Structure 1
């Protein structure tokens, strides 16, 4: 089969695996109340379970990049997807809450080995003038995974139960791991050729970490993505069910709009940043301000929003957070070409620690207010969302201190 056709098979397999990276990331939002009932645990405990995905994901970003260089992306993704399969089975069959947390931890380890190898494969199989387009397609497929983890997952859990649902997800994951090994090739010329590790890693690392740009953008991403994962990834679902009395499926439908906003916003924001405004920094600041204003109704009108306003708020959270990829363009333009990959991988660690930290701390804030009967009152969610509002503002302000080089 000719290269220009086969490359789409390679991309298709990797994109399908990446679909489940996002699916697992946001699935606890519609499972939170079910897991609290199943294991008789508090919001803080469920926050710990959900955040168990993010810590290994963040920690593994740089090692995965190194392994992709020396072992090849095909082998790395196959092995890590098998780890995700094992984690999914453990989660689905978990007899205790501790086993469920460990399963979630393994899922985080497994899916951490997908994005960086996929980007490396895209750079080898597609031309330079196709790279952004194909990466955009990958991002869209991932966010479709987030959409499926909302209403469709809620409906499937209602029909089959959460355990059978995740057994089914595990079976698909196993098939994708095998498909990766048999169908994916590391490059069109010299299949599965391993690249040599860089001997200048320590020098390049010093170049990256001495530039304040990387820390400003990384901290901003930590806060912004922490807010998104706090809402979309975990506490948005319980909020809609506890405060507005929504069923799981309806709450999932509202949360789907975060993914829709991201899918709509990412290509538009990228195009405007590239072609119209020709700036990264000020576009990030503007998006950050919009993101902050979007969080305000959740903090101050927690129990008095209409259903339409809830849908619109979720959409805008996704829309403004979709400016995140522009930050990686800003990183790329702030460093010499030979260290941009390392700089991006370091920045990529922080959003996932943000997601983990926010899910746990928001659960802690809710527990300080306490439950009323079997649900949390609006005051508990208002406190958690007020924290997110402050974090959103700080995230936008940090970008003001970035020096943009075009």
Structure 2
């Protein structure tokens, strides 16, 4: 097979593996109420499963990125997929809470190896101009995994039982372990891949260098602020909130979840193309997405009662844009750090939204548990108060973006790269069009 065709096969298998990982990752988000019934506990306790999984995912990014730079994406994709299979099998086979926590730890640890490996794989197989679009395409296609969780895994659990549903999901994961190992390669034949040369005892120096770079910091801040609310919504509190607080049927709530996935499939490529065409303005693109999410939540949470369906659709669309918005953060390390540091840098960036989601899910669950006195059902007002904790997190993220962007632009200016004011940029574009 020639390289032109082979790169698409490698990319396709990697993306399918990511979609299956998304199904595993989202399983408790769509089956939170069923999990509470299975383990004989409350939804807020089930939320701690997700907190552990996301915290493991976020904290596992740095070691995963370090190993990725040394071992390559093929090994890490295979290893991560296998860990997620083990976690889902264990979760399906137990009704003991302690073992369920171990299972979600394995899912989170395996998940930490998947997307970061694909981010490393794409620049090795494709020209730079394709990288932002393919990064968005990866996220766009991975939402198939969320749809599988909603329309295949959840009905399977409800129809055939907890163990049968999760075991079937794990078997699909086994297929992907074999496919990844058999098909994916780190780079085209004949291409020499650079690896870090420092000794393990000096590893911390390179990591600290990446952390201190303002491009990494800005990427982290963008990823955090764009994605924490969407992740908290998708992975845990979205369906319970829509069903219990907003009074929607399971079919209507699932339809809104589907809208998140479908809208992301259309928004992602647009964000990718704009990022590639306007690299000096990519932070403004992310800020537009972030402000849309923040303002949508403010309007919904200010209402004294359930929101009209059209407003919930607006909220869901704003959250859907948050996924493509997070991918803008990866473009900073890619264009500003050496290739041998991409794994570590992307690991730091990708931890942003998931650390934010971990904190958000934990805070929401804690507030609901406190306000309800341990009840298994929560009221509209309790959800309204609990979900309001997202507002200060949005504001903190926005401050971080503006501060780190200023630092990065100063560094760019010192290197001779000036970001012109909007008025000058628009004026120049207008003058160029008049001369055509």
Q: Distance in 2 between matches of 1:205 and 1:72?
A: 17
**Superposition pairs of residues 78-97 of structure 1, within 5 angstroms:** 78-97=78-97
- The equivalent residue for 2:358 is 356
Q: In the alignment, is the contact (CA less than 8 A) between 1:264 and 1:319 conserved in 2? A: no
Work out whether residues 287 and 321 of structure 1, in 8 Å CA contact, stay in contact via their aligned partners in 2. no
Alignment partner for residue 398 of structure 2, among 396, 399, 402?
396
SS at match of 1:303: coil
State the shift of 1:332 in Å: 4.2
Question: 1:263 and 2:262 equivalent?
Answer: no
1:2-401 equivalences under 5 Å are 2-190=2-190, 196-199=195-198, 201-212=203-214, 214-215=216-217, 217-219=219-221, 221-275=223-277, 278-301=280-303, 303-333=305-335, 335=337, 339=341, 342-370=344-372, 374-401=376-403
CA shift at 1:69, angstroms?
3.3
- CA change 1:55–1:148 in 2 (3 A) is same
SS of the equivalent of 2:367 reads: helix
1:280 to partner: Cα distance: 2.2
SS for the counterpart of 1:376 is: coil
Task: Please give the alpha-carbon distance, in whole angstroms, between the structure 1 residues aligned to 2:180 and 2:356.
Answer: 30
- Alpha-carbon distance in 2 for matches of 1:110, 1:231: 21
Q: Distance in 1 between matches of 2:117 and 2:379?
A: 44
- Shift of residue 363 of structure 1? 0.4
The aligned length equals 405
SS at match of 1:19: helix
What is the distance in 2 between the residues matched to 1:228 and 1:19? 17
- Do 2:78 and 2:177's aligned partners in 1 also have CA atoms closer than 8 Å? yes
Indicate if the aligned counterparts of 1:18 and 1:142 stay in contact, CA closer than 8 A: yes
Shift of 1:385: 1.8
Q: Is the 8 A contact 2:137 2:269 kept in 1?
A: no
Say if 1:274 and 1:124 are closer, same or farther in 2 by CA, change over 3 A: closer
User: What displacement does 1:293 show?
Assistant: 0.5
State the 1:88 CA deviation. Answer: 0.9
Q: Deviations over 1:145-165 (max 9, x none)?
A: 223333444333333333322
Query: Deviation per CA, 1:334-388, whole angstroms, max 9, x where unpaired?
Result: 5566656533322222322222221111100111210696410011111122111
Cα pair 1:29 1:237 within 8 Å, conserved: yes
User: After TM superposition, what 4+ stretches of structure 1 lie above 6 angstroms from structure 2?
Assistant: none
- Higher mean alpha-carbon deviation, 260-269 vs 166-175, is at 260-269
1-structure distance, mates of 2:68, 2:217: 25
Query: What is the deviation of 1:167?
Result: 0.8
Structure 1 unaligned residues grouped into runs of 5+: none
Measured in 2, the distance between the counterparts of 1:111 and 1:334 equals 26
Higher alpha-carbon deviation: 143-152 or 13-22:
143-152
Task: For residue 224 of structure 1, report the CA deviation from its aligned partner.
Answer: 4.1
CA contact (8 A) 1:221 1:395 kept: no
User: Are the equivalent residues in 2 in contact too, given 1:66–1:197 (CA < 8 A)?
Assistant: no
TM-score normalized with structure 1 length: 0.89
Q: What corresponds to 2:434 in structure 1?
A: none
Q: 1:120 to 1:338 in 2, by over 3 A?
A: closer
- How far residue 183 of structure 1 moved from its aligned partner, in angstroms, is 2.2
User: What is the DSSP-based 3-state SS (H/G/I as helix, E as strand, rest coil) of the residue aligned with 1:189?
Assistant: coil
CA shift, 1:215, in A, is: 3.8
Deviations 1:10-46 (A, max 9, x none): 2222111100222233332221111222222233311
After superposition, the C-alpha distances for 1:75-116 in whole angstroms (9 at most, x for unaligned) are 222222111111110011112122122111111111222222
C-alpha contact 1:291 1:320 (8 A) present in aligned 2:
yes
Contact (CA 8 Å) 2:64, 2:347: kept in 1 or not?
A: no
* Aligned residues of 2:61 and 2:347 also touching (Cα < 8 A): yes
